[in-house]
Amino acid sequence: MARVGRELEGFAFGLINELLGLVHDENGVARPNRFEVVIFPPTSSAQTRNASSYDNLSATLLGDLVKDGTLRSVAIKCTSISFPAKTLQVSQDTNIYGPVREIVNGIEFGDLQANFTMLRSDMKEKKYFEAWQGLTFNPASWSVGYYDDYVGSVEIYQLDEKNRRKYGIKLIEAFPKIVGDMALDMQTGNTVSSLPITFSYRYWEPLEGQSQIPNRILGDIADLVGNTVERKILSKIPKVLSRL
């Protein structure tokens, strides 16, 4: 019995060491607070098709907010998001004897919730998503815009301990379906405001080769490095700020 006990003890220690090795290897374990979000607004413009003046105004405002760095600011201020689900639609196959089996007849993708915080007092981040929504319809005539004019994409990455992209997905044909409520309350003191956004999208697909920096132009690489540094700084700022 003593020999069996020693063998079990050795097996247990071996298993623990193996698990610790998996935790401390190059990849480590996935942590939900280590992620990166990259938002790509619509690439086509309503201005190119002689659209209404309101459509032109929204497209121009969106373009200005992209150029002045607001888009980058929005991306690094995303404090919560999820890797979206993928649901297979099934039905029962009753044309067989014995236990019923389910067969796949479609695929379904739901909306995706995201939250943005540390917003500027001029609400540029909110204006960005509102301008994006402004491409979808004209409030004067209530006519809807062209689909290709208001869909973009969103990329979500899992980062390792060294902030390297290890896994990623891309939302295809995405747009901000809901720009959520922002509560205002005199009793909250110095609590930082947050902005909930619900993205609608057609489907998502995995991105390959996340462990390597993609072949981008130098400006994009600089943005990637800058995003990582700024995310580290923002993660150390408490949700409730004290007055100086």
pLDDT in tens, 145-170: 899 999 999 999 999 988 999 999 99
**Quick one: which of 36, 38, 23 has its CA closest to 164?**
36
Supply the pLDDT for residue 55. Answer: 55
Tokens 């700024």 label which residue? 230
Could you tell me the residue ranges of all domains in the chain? Answer: 1-29, 31-235
Supply the pLDDT for residue 224. Answer: 47
**Quick one: which of 152, 155, 158 has its CA closest to 177?**
152
Supply the pLDDT for residue 216. Answer: 40
| 68: Cβ contacts below 8 Å, ≥ 6 apart | none
Check: CB of residue 82 under 8 Å from CB of residue 112: yes
Q: Determine the Cα–Cα distance for residues 59 and 49; give it in Å rounded to an integer.
A: 12
Supply the pLDDT for residue 77. Answer: 94
* 78-80 and 112-117 beta bridge pairing: antiparallel
Q: Determine the Cα–Cα distance for residues 198 and 25; give it in Å rounded to an integer.
A: 36
Supply the pLDDT for residue 225. Answer: 44
Supply the pLDDT for residue 2. Answer: 55
- The list of the chain residues with pLDDT below 50 reads 4, 11, 19, 46-51, 210-226, 229, 238-244
pTM reported for the whole predicted model: 0.74
